[in-house]
Each structure stands twice: as C-alpha cells, then as structure tokens.
Amino acid sequence: MFSKAVEGDSMGSDEELEKETDEETLGHWPIPEGTILARATTRAFAYIMDTIFVMGVLYLLTSILGGQAASIVQAYNLGLLLAGGRGTALFLVNWFLIFGANYLYHKYTGIRFGRTLAQRWLGLAVVREDGSALTRLDWDRRALRKIRYAIPVIGLLWFGIRDSLLIQKRHTHQSSIDLTVGSIVADGNSLPPTFRKHLK
C-alpha cells in the first residue's frame, strides 16, 4: 500500500544511484525523512472512489432536476451528440458538468482537507515535496490537470495508465501532475507532526 522513502538502495546499480542523485539536485527529493509514499495502486483506488462519489452526486442532482432522460448518464449516449438540437446541447451540458464537478471537487476538498475524501479515508495526504501544505494555487493546478482523467476512454487508458507507470517508475512516486505542481502523495501519519497540522 505504501513505499517508504529512503536515501539510497545499496542493492541498486550505480546508474540508478546517479539518477537519484541528479533528481535530488533538481529539487525532486527534499522529502522529510521517514515519509511513506503512496503506491500507484492505492492512489488509483482513491481516484476511482472519488469519481464514484462525484458521479453519484451528479446522477442524483440531474435525475431530480431533469428526470432520467436528462440524467448525467446521458453523457455516455453518443446518439445525443449526433442527434442535433436539444440532444446535442444536453450531451455538451452533461460533459460540462462532469468536468466542472471534478475540477471543483478536487480543488476544494484539497483546500479544505489537504486531500480528497477518498484519500482521507485511506489515510493519504497530498503535500509539497518538502512536506509543507499546498497553496490554493497548487490545488487549482492539480484539479485542473486531473480533468484529463475524466476524458472518455483516453482519460484512464492513456493518461491514467501512463501516470500509474510513472509513479511506479520514480523513486519519489510522483505522477506527471505531481511533477508539475511539485507535490507528493504520502501516508499522512508518516509525515512529521509539523507537516500534519493542516490535514483534516
């Protein structure tokens, strides 16, 4: 479920050690000592749980307000896109809701709790590489980039799998989004007390 951050691997090759040293120099390894990094599978499970929650809320709201014919599941009805008129409009509105809801959810749960609800349930924490709390701008950047995972088919089969492989490959377990924002995902309880104060 987690992988402990270590300073080096005595069994690793010289090439791997040189790579880690280079990455430390570039600023991708100021992680607090003892921090346990989340594995790709745990992070993927958290994202799936978050998505189920977001889509569940959207389904309830759209079903109540517009009925089954206008529920969020119609976003996956390609016939609406090709129907023209109100059908196409409904299709586009549904996808606007999906992308918008995912963005708002990941941004504001991050700002409020320091992680999403599923990450909180699993004991994960999203922090900067040095263990400090992410800023509002950081959460905005993370949430905006996470929208890519919601794109039909390629969202998970391309962006999702690519980032999962990247997390497994890197000793810092960072996805492309983490590298852009300068964040890591770790076991919240493994962070030093001073870096856990913002977690809720």
Alpha carbon distances (Å) from 95 to 33, 86, 101, 174: 42, 14, 10, 28
CA distance linking residue 24 with residue 200, whole number of Å: 30
Q: Which domain holds residue 44?
A: 35-195
CB contact burial 131-164 (16+ within 10 A = b; e otherwise): bebbeeebbbbbbebbbbbbbeeeebeebbeebb
Token reading at 178:
């983490």
Q: Does residue 21 fall inside a structural domain?
A: no
Is the residue at 175 inside a domain? yes
Residue 174 domain-assigned (yes or no): yes
3 lies in a domain?
Answer: no
Mean pLDDT value across residues 34-49 = 93
- What is the pTM (predicted TM-score) of this model? 0.81
> Which pLDDT tens digit goes with each residue over 10-30?
344 343 334 443 444 444 567
Tokens of 65: 């307000």
Q: Is residue 117 part of a domain?
A: yes
Is the pLDDT at 3 greater than 50? The verdict is yes
CB-CB contact of 156 with 165 (8 Å): no
Total domains present in the chain: 1
Q: What is the pLDDT of residues 128-158, one digit of tens each?
A: 988 899 999 999 999 999 999 999 989 988 9
Q: The sheet that has 36-38: what strands, in order across it? A: 2-4, 36-38, 183-187, 124-128
19 in any annotated domain: no
Does some domain include residue 151? yes
Residue 124 lies in a domain: yes
Question: For 56-75, how does the pLDDT look when each residue is reduced to its tens digit (9 = 90+)?
Answer: 999 999 988 878 777 898 88
